[in-house]
Structure 1
Amino acid sequence: MLNLNYDEMFKISILALKINRSYPTILKDKLWLFSVIPMYGLFCFVFCLISNSMIFHDLKNDNFTAACTSGIFAVLFICVSFKYSVLLTKTEDITFAINKVKGDYASAKRLCSEEQAITSEYANRASWVTKVWLLTSFSVFSVFPTQVLVLSIYYYAIGDFQFVHMYQMTYPEALETNKNETYTYLFLLFMQIYYGLYVLLMYVGFTPLGLIFMLHACGRIEIVKYRISKLFEGEHYDPREIQQRLKNILMPLQDVLDFVDLLKETFRVVYEVYMKATTIVIPIALYEILEALKEARLSIEFMTFIVAGVVLCFAPCYYSDLLMEKGLSLRMCVYASGWEAYPDSAMRRTLCIIMCRLERDVAIRTLFRTVNLDAFSELCHQSYALFNVINAAWT
């Protein structure tokens, strides 16, 4: 028997959001507040250090390379804070979506074997996406502490030991003067690792949510499509049987369309921010890589930023495009079902209404555009154009 458990399949995302206290079902009481304030406060403290370095040192001294590095870390702070605000302001909607998926998994036990297979397929795909995103995010984060460890061992091996900082920046005078003293260095290293872990938790926890919901919607549309293909199955035309089959089609169809509308409203601004942030981060990271190559260095950390940024935007564009394709495929399935050959006018009108309803794209939208592969292509063009401007202005 099919046994899909949301909490078990997506425990990585759930655990990450519970650790940083942003999971929608966590009670927002005084205990929550007292835990969030110090956690987010330390995160803000490191952001202030980064901003101080970028504004009062890097830009002031025309060190554009260092300013770009600090700028990328500052963008991460803005994105993480925005995601946290979405989880707080859209708590009810996200909780409803999670419970909807859980309810559909529970009710899948009563479906036929073909529909159970469809549900299981898309649930497993969503679980796979969550694991891939964990691997991608952790790969980006792990580059920085690995770099610190490797360089520290190297300097020790050649007899010239020195402290290696995780992020290169200029600190306020009190910290800058003593940054290479043991306790000050350990404090700064702890804060930098904490900053990276906080970003990692939010990206691992929040980013897969939209993908999980989109894949679930694709699965529900596939089930409706399967039922339409069986609508006129049988040797004899039985109006009562057809009416019951139509009922089993209309209710889940309206259900999944309402679910997609909820996703559109919940993630409308989220994916717009993803697109804009990635459009900025990728050209800056490319510029940093080129500058490093000029100095005969290989900037692995910025290469991973580019890979993560591409995956971050490509995944929702791809799955939203898949969702749109499923909606179009469903409409064609209704049209090709052979409805015109049956005498029941009420049934024909119902199917015509379904086709009219499916004329509107079943896809996620941002504030200005549909999230699909065309949007990703446009993002790549904009990033390349911005890279050319940066490269021409500061080379």
Structure 2
Amino acid sequence: MEQQPEFTTFHETYKLITFALSVGMIYPNPKTEMWRLASIPFLIATITPLATMIFIDMYKCWMAKDIVNIIRHSTVVGPFLGGFFKMILMYHKRIQAKQILDEINRDYENINNYSEIYKDIARASVKNCQIYSERGWAITVVTCVMTFPVMAISLNVYNFVFKSEPVKYMIHDLEKPFSEDPEDRFESPYFEIIFVYMFYCSILYVVNFTGYDGFFGLAINHACLKMDLYCKALEEAFKADAHEVCGRVIGVIKEQCRMFQFVDLIQDTFNIWLGIIFLATMIQICTCLYHITEGYGFDLRYMIFVTGAVIHIYLPCRYAAKLKAMSLETANRFYSSGWEQVDDQRVRKMILFMVARAQVPNEIVALNMLAFNMELFVSILQTSYSMFTLLRS
């Protein structure tokens, strides 16, 4: 009986992210292109009524100079609509995204034929991705988004069970359009219908953010895995027989070039999205803080939401910083790989060029001008707080 390979494909290794990508019409499968092309407008159409209702209420708040409720609505609807922009963006970048998946699948297939020392490196990388970039990120998104419906359901159940005159709670408090009495939003069956509708939109919210952002983290971590593997391959090459060294070093150079192409694909696929979340997250953190401090008392939902917004921008900055640090570290590992034991001048010249190229760091740049790193993360927090204090004044 043929033994099942330890390292399989992306969709078998990261089932949760693959499920979110598929449900969110983001998974770059050429066989489903026409289905996604038809489904994306349909899904956008299903959330259009809610978005329209929110914008109508925001207009009413604007006319009444109710800044708190404008901010409350914008804090939720902005990222929500951004999730559907991801569908359109990923369809536009479907070829590049498919190439990322193909490269990951190709590497996993090759690792099955490597020795245990390489498999150990890959196992550690996959486990780290499954814990943090997949499950950890999914838990974060679910916690931030589903806090709204869970708290609404809990409060409704409590009120109807323990109070003689129960108060109804919506998932996102929203007045009934074109109604003069604000209490009309709690009338049956409107309240029940809008509650179920908002719950459906919450599920879409979770799916869109889990799949797309999780895919970015997995891609960056895989680029780091590629570097780790070919650095180890170079060390092993100089321990081989003299007649094998040159061929092995050439193999490492080919893998280094594939890694550069892989990072370019990531850059091309997520370039626009990174620029958008850079601006959107600063605004979102600012508005969440304003709502918590200047709104109608402390709101746990928005406190959790602002925490999620900080994590949402922290992770891309952290991944990009990891990629940059790892790419610079490869220069040191190349130099310390044992090349001085080899007398072949061709190999020595190869190492010289490999070290020189590795000293130019790989960076993830938003909109081709804004490098993501931990310094940018700190700058975003500082700018958000400055905007918050300005808004309060």
Under a length normalisation based on structure 1, what TM-score does the superposition of the two structures give?
0.91
1:66 aligned residue (65, 69, 72): 69
Give the superposition deviation at 1:139: 0.7
Q: How does 1:302-381 map to 2 (within 5 A)?
A: 302-339=302-339, 342-367=342-367, 368-381=369-382
Q: Aligned partners of 1:87, 1:310: CA distance in 2, in Å?
A: 23
Give the superposition deviation at 1:340: 5.3
Query: In the TM superposition, what whole-angstrom CA distance separates every residue of 1:235-269 from its partner, at most 9, and x where no partner exists?
Result: xx72x222022122111111111101111111112
Q: How does 1:1-395 map to 2 (within 5 A)?
A: 2-25=6-29, 27-29=32-34, 31-54=35-58, 56-128=59-131, 129-156=133-160, 157-174=162-179, 178-233=184-239, 238=242, 240-292=243-295, 297-339=297-339, 342-367=342-367, 368-392=369-393
Give the superposition deviation at 1:27: 1.7
Q: Aligned partners of 2:353, 2:285: CA distance in 1, in Å?
A: 45
Give the superposition deviation at 1:346: 2.0
Q: What letter matches 1:313 in structure 2? A: I
Q: Aligned partners of 1:249, 1:22: CA distance in 2, in Å?
A: 33
1:245–1:57 distance in 2 versus 1, CA, 3 Å: same
1:351–1:175 distance in 2 versus 1, CA, 3 Å: farther
Check conservation: 1:133, 1:204, Cα contact below 8 A: yes
Check conservation: 1:66, 1:169, Cα contact below 8 A: no
3-state secondary structure, aligned to 2:144? helix
Q: Aligned partners of 2:342, 2:60: CA distance in 1, in Å?
A: 77
Q: What letter matches 1:299 in structure 2? A: D
1:347–1:34 distance in 2 versus 1, CA, 3 Å: closer
Check conservation: 1:52, 1:171, Cα contact below 8 A: no
Give the superposition deviation at 1:32: 4.4
Q: Aligned partners of 2:352, 2:251: CA distance in 1, in Å?
A: 17
Q: Aligned partners of 1:220, 1:229: CA distance in 2, in Å?
A: 14
Under a length normalisation based on structure 2, what TM-score does the superposition of the two structures give?
0.92
Percent sequence identity over matched residues? Answer: 18
Q: What letter matches 1:376 in structure 2? A: F
Give the superposition deviation at 1:211: 0.6
1:346–1:230 distance in 2 versus 1, CA, 3 Å: same
1:383–1:3 distance in 2 versus 1, CA, 3 Å: same
Question: Would you say how many aligned residue pairs link Structure 1 and Structure 2?
Answer: 384
Give the superposition deviation at 1:176: 6.3
| RMSD of equivalent CA atoms | 2.0
